Amino acid sequence: MTAHHLHLVSDSTGETINSVARACLVQFSGVEPVEHIWSLVRTRGMMNKVVGQIEAHPGPVLYTLVNLQLRDQLTSCCMRLGVPCIAILDPVIHTMANYFGVEMKGTPGLQHVLDAEYFGRMDAMTFALTHDDGQHCSDIAKADIILVGVSRTSKTPTCMYLANRGIKAANIPVVPGCPIPDELLQADGPLIIGLTKDPARLVQVRQNRLRMLTDDRQETDYVNLEAVRQEIAQARRFCVEHDWPLIDVTRRSIEETAATIMNYYARHIGAEV
């Protein structure tokens, strides 16, 4: 089988270019190229090493470079070898520069500068970890978003994803026979959203979870389909009674769920302005 090579060249951490490459490669089933990742490429000597490897293992090149000399060195090599060479941010940057009527700064790694936005994300991450699964409800009103739902409806990973966007998110489990914390019912600032899931799919997820934790196959209400149906129905009614939006996460990825939540949040903020 012929090996495909893909070179990812960046003058910063390479996080952006890796994310783009991942998003593109999933569209091609069965294609798993050998990735050559080059980060913090900021000198001619470092670029010489990159060019040498491209010559040894020709393949498409994706890059994010602001230094014009390094860009010319890379693109000349690719042109000589006849391999694609794509500056992934150029179309976006040029379009925005034309629209805003300003020039780009041309400084590598600006998106990773430790600015207020970065520390805001770190604060949000700490908040999500501290307020996971109903912990520390005493100050839950400080949250931007509170997710409510039965066990295994992706509340925690969704909160962590939102935290990476700078959103302070907490989550509260709805457990049969356990009262909902008064702090949640009294919180009038945060956006509260319920997460739900198809009962059959939820049982499957819970069974897989139990297998990871124990070899005990004893049937419990936690994985009993009829009990789970009632559990979900009760949680749904609770959300409807309090006029909280409900999102069915059965066929949604974490990213898709978070995008829907952010749409609700945008409207929530607008309503309070």
Whether residue 210 is predicted with pLDDT greater than 50 in this model: the reply is yes
Residues forming beta bridges with residue 248, ordered by sequence position: 196
Output the pLDDT for position 106: 58
Helix (H) / strand (E) element for 101: namely none
Whether residue 29 is annotated as binding a ligand: the answer is no
Helix pair 68-81, 44-56: axis angle to 10 deg: 20
The matching CATH number, chosen from 3.30.160, 3.90.1690, 1.10.3470, 3.40.50, for 116-272 is 3.40.50
Mean model confidence pLDDT for the chain? 87
Output the pLDDT for position 224: 93
Whether residue 155 is annotated as binding a ligand: the answer is yes
Whether residue 113 is annotated as binding a ligand: the answer is no
Whether residue 271 is predicted with pLDDT greater than 60 in this model: the reply is no
Between CA 234 and CA 178 the distance in angstroms is 12
What share of the chain in percent tops pLDDT 70? 91
Output the pLDDT for position 192: 97
What is the three-class DSSP state of 61?
Answer: strand
Whether residue 14 is annotated as binding a ligand: the answer is no
Which residue ranges make up each domain of the chain?
Answer: 5-112, 116-272
Average pLDDT over residues 60-70: 91
In this predicted model, what pLDDT tens digit does every residue of 191-208 receive, in sequence order?
999 999 999 999 999 988
Between CA 234 and CA 228 the distance in angstroms is 10
Q: 103 phi and psi, to 5 degrees?
A: -95, 150
Lowest mean pLDDT among 143-157, 215-229, 230-244: 215-229
Topology of domain 5-112, per CATH? Rossmann fold (3.40.50)
Lowest mean pLDDT among 41-55, 191-205, 208-222: 208-222
Whether residue 144 is predicted with pLDDT greater than 90 in this model: the reply is yes
Rg (CA), the chain: 24
Residue 139's pLDDT band, with cuts at 50, 70 and 90, is very high
Whether residue 95 is predicted with pLDDT greater than 60 in this model: the reply is yes
Output the pLDDT for position 272: 46
Whether residue 86 is predicted with pLDDT greater than 80 in this model: the reply is yes
Between CA 94 and CA 108 the distance in angstroms is 16
Whether residue 26 is predicted with pLDDT greater than 50 in this model: the reply is yes
Whether residue 93 is predicted with pLDDT greater than 90 in this model: the reply is no
Q: How far is CA 208 from CA 204, 211, 218, 248, in A?
A: 6, 5, 13, 20
Whether residue 246 is predicted with pLDDT greater than 90 in this model: the reply is yes
Strands 34-38 and 5-10: parallel
For 247-255, which contacts have Cβ atoms below 8 Å and span 24 or more sequence positions? Answer: 247/193, 247/194, 247/195, 247/196, 248/196, 248/197, 248/198, 249/153, 249/154, 249/158, 249/195, 249/196, 249/197, 250/197, 250/198, 250/201, 254/154, 254/157, 254/158, 254/161, 255/161
Q: Answer whether 5-112 and 116-272 agree in fold.
A: yes
